[in-house]
Structure 1
Amino acid sequence: MRELVEAVLAGTRDPEVTGVQVREVAALAATVPDVLGADGYLFGTPANFGYMSGALKHFFDTVYYPCLGTVAGRPFGLWVHGSDDTAGAVRSVLKLTGGMGLEQVAAPLELSGAPDAAAREAGYELGGTLAASLMA
């Protein structure tokens, strides 16, 4: 997961992206003020037993209702890494982000197995796409 996080964050720092500040906040550390203070979101999770990680689920449990109606229309991107099945994790995150009214800027990045160069490039593109959507 760390390799993918680094690739996604590198994409947000692409030289063509200007005027965008990025903060990395772990799911268990993220708070309602973090969500309300952000203009867009990148969510990443391992697929655990066909579902998002417990940490990301806890994040959504914590921020969903306090942020409902306030963050609608803000862009987000998602990547999910699993051994073999990522569909359930993707579906669960998309259900929650849809309920919050967040706008998906790219198709979810679903990865299985060890990250290779193509996976890192796809992560870079995801980060760059979200960051570019936020440029003033």
Structure 2
Amino acid sequence: MATLLIVHHTPSPNCQALFEAVVSGATDPDIDNVRVVRRAALAATASDVLAADGYLLGTPANLGYMSGALKHFLDQVYYPCLDSTRGRPFGYWIHGGNDVTGAARALDAITTGLGWRRAAEPVTVTGEPAKSDLESCWELGATLAAGLMDQDSG
């Protein structure tokens, strides 16, 4: 069974709504043979990353950058996971008040350095999430999970 790891920082109701939509998509009953593991960014470890076959990352955009919690997670796992996780699929979502470009640029740079393969377009949302934003997050979760359905773990 494949494992999808969702690492998130959800400090606000808007971030929580996007996270819940991602989880709902990833755990859709039509998706078989995929275990979905959810970890708060400050609780996720290199062991979690090494045990997973794909990744979803969620963060608010704070002061033009990803949250400190998600950055801390990525700093902690970068070198321990660098060689072992190359080519694994990932996706991400970002919520911001008015601009998410700095956070997206940073996530793109770090995941490129890790050698992860973007398996879906990022979802970026500013302001209060609209129904279409929640649907995009659902699709993001479902796309990553469905892509792992036929993959053997490890």
State the TM-score, normalizing by the size of structure 2: 0.86
Match of 2:137 in 1: 123
Task: Return the structure number with greater strand share.
Answer: 2
Task: From 51, 61, 86, give the equivalent of 1:47.
Answer: 61
1:61 is matched by which residue type in structure 2?
A: D
Q: Distance in 1 between matches of 2:29 and 2:37?
A: 17
Task: From 86, 93, 112, give the equivalent of 2:100.
Answer: 86
Q: Percent identity?
A: 54
2:115 is matched by which residue type in structure 1?
A: G
Task: From 128, 132, 140, give the equivalent of 1:114.
Answer: 128
Are 1:75 and 2:92 an aligned pair?
A: no
Q: Distance in 2 between matches of 1:14 and 1:62?
A: 30
Q: Distance in 2 between matches of 1:94 and 1:43?
A: 11
Q: Distance in 2 between matches of 1:22 and 1:15?
A: 12
2:88 is matched by which residue type in structure 1?
A: R
Task: From 44, 49, 52, give the equivalent of 1:35.
Answer: 49
Deviation per CA, 1:6-30, whole angstroms, max 9, x where unpaired?
Answer: 0000001123211111010011001
1:77 is matched by which residue type in structure 2?
A: G
Are 1:3 and 2:17 an aligned pair?
A: yes
Q: Distance in 2 between matches of 1:64 and 1:103?
A: 15
1:15 is matched by which residue type in structure 2?
A: P
The answer for unaligned runs of 5 or more in structure 2 is: 1-14
- Shift in Å, 1:67: 0.6
State the TM-score, normalizing by the size of structure 1: 0.98
Q: Count residues with an aligned counterpart.
A: 136
- Shift in Å, 1:99: 0.5
